[in-house]
Structure 1
Amino acid sequence: MDSSAVFFALALIIGYIFLRWTIPTVPETNDFNIDMSTLSKDADEETTSSSLSGTSSAKSRNKRPVTDSMIEVVQTIAPNLTVEQIRADLEKSGSVEATIDNFMANGDLPHPRNQKSTKEE
């Protein structure tokens, strides 16, 4: 082995040790000092309890008003869906992620009922 190769290898090892010693490790919390590991455990417990009880309290608690940008995100992933289908599912779920999951699971979203046809029946 060449002496320059040995010097280079030693420089890499010493540099790695120096950087490892001087750079602190990244903590498991975010800027708001929230422990992310407890959040994931809490979310898992809520999901388990809501699926066991048959209610979707975790999903209904996070409902947001439907915006055009939410519809655009879903249309980007599912361009064959109509705006009415997307809006109806977003109003029901309150979440883009849940709407996309519904689409991926079923391949389509249910068509919303027309208000005039339900009044006439």
Structure 2
Amino acid sequence: MVVLAQFIFSCKLPEKVVQTYLGDKDGFYQWNQNSENEFSVSYYLIVGSYKTLSEAEEIKNQLSVKGYPAIILPKTKGYFRISLGTYAYKKNVELVREQYIKDNPGVKPWIYSH
């Protein structure tokens, strides 16, 4: 778990990326990431989907206590999804997924992109 968190935070973003916090709306953190190439995050490692926000918040808090950078994505198709971070590159999210599975045998996280 600690190794996963270290990996996530040690990933380097492309040069000249500007990350701007847009505020907290309905309990969700919103970020705007831009560069000269209009860089944007497009991959998420989904570790759970829940019908209610309270269920999602409970699991998010449990993951956060364990050191995971859990976030709740806005409700889509009736579910709140919990992601372990956001990623610009598919390879990065795949590496994090592999490590999460090693640290948590039996789990089946999946990659969501938009």
TM bucket, shorter chain:
under 0.3
- Structure 1 or 2: more helix by fraction: 1
Larger Rg: 1
User: What is the TM-score normalised by the length of structure 1?
Assistant: 0.21
User: What is the TM-score normalised by the length of structure 2?
Assistant: 0.22
Q: Between the two structures, name the one with larger relative contact order (CA 8 Å, sep ≥ 6).
A: 2
